[in-house]
Amino acid sequence: MLQNSMLFNWINAIRNDPVDGIITMLMQIVAILGALILHEVAHGYVALWCGDPTAKMLGRLSLNPARHLDPIGTAMMLLLGVGFAKPVPVNPRNFRNYRRDDLLVSLAGVTMNMLLFLVSGFLMVLCNRNLRITDHHSVLYYLSLFFTHFSILNLSLALFNLLPIPPLDGYHVLNDILLKGKLRLSPDMFRMLHFGLMALLLFTNVINNLLSSMMNAVWTPVITFFYNIVN
């Protein structure tokens, strides 16, 4: 598992080409921070729109990474390619319509990541369309590389969070739409399921294999469509 991690890839890349490796590492760090932070900020802004100012009062509508990053979630992102930031605090009692607003807040982060995937995927295609073999280490080359990393990362985060497993956003979507909000889990149960999910990620390939299949099903037709547009 470590051999496929971002950290392992960074070390190898820096050994092979220090300048290219460091630039690639910095771009991936920016991509990780952008994807995780914008996901959480989207939750906070939609919660505020739905009547809950908790995230705003606690300073979680900021783009400052220090307010959002979770040490374990960030480490998992670096090692596994899938991780999480500190969840935005939400008080559902402030919602104007509990089920509707819970659903909207839950979908906000996923929607943000999907939009970022579509925009960065299209920009990646535009860059690749104009890339030449001699453009290695050029600005266009690194832009293409960044948009590739950013699009893949945002798609993986969106699909991961759509899994109907507590405490992921997909659980709230399942509960609000299909179960009509009837399933109520205690905070202790949420914490247990959270640790269970992390154990699945750390010690098995179940989630990773599922995500790979889901990503292939989405990535290929979308990127192919973009290439057809620019051509």
CA end-to-end span of the chain, whole Å? Answer: 38
Residue 151 token pair: 């699009």
Q: Hunting for tokens 């819970």 — which residue is that?
A: 102
What value, to the nearest 5°, has the Cα angle with vertex 106 and ends 105 and 107?
95
Strand (E) positions, the chain? none
Residue 199 token pair: 């154990």
Q: Is 90 exposed, middle or buried (0-12, 13-18, 19+ CB in 10 A)?
A: buried
Is 40 assigned a catalytic role? yes
- CA 162 and chain centroid, separation: 11
Are 43 and 88 spatial neighbours (Cβ–Cβ below 8 Å)?
yes
Bridge partner list, 85: 69
Residue 71 token pair: 């040490």
Helix orientation angle between 139-161 and 98-130, rounded to the nearest 10 degrees: 150
Marked catalytic residue, from 6, 27, 38, 40: 40
Are 156 and 82 spatial neighbours (Cβ–Cβ below 8 Å)?
yes
3-state DSSP assignment of residue 85:
strand
In terms of Cα–Cα distance, which of 145, 147, 149 is closest to 136? 145
**Residues designated catalytic:** 40
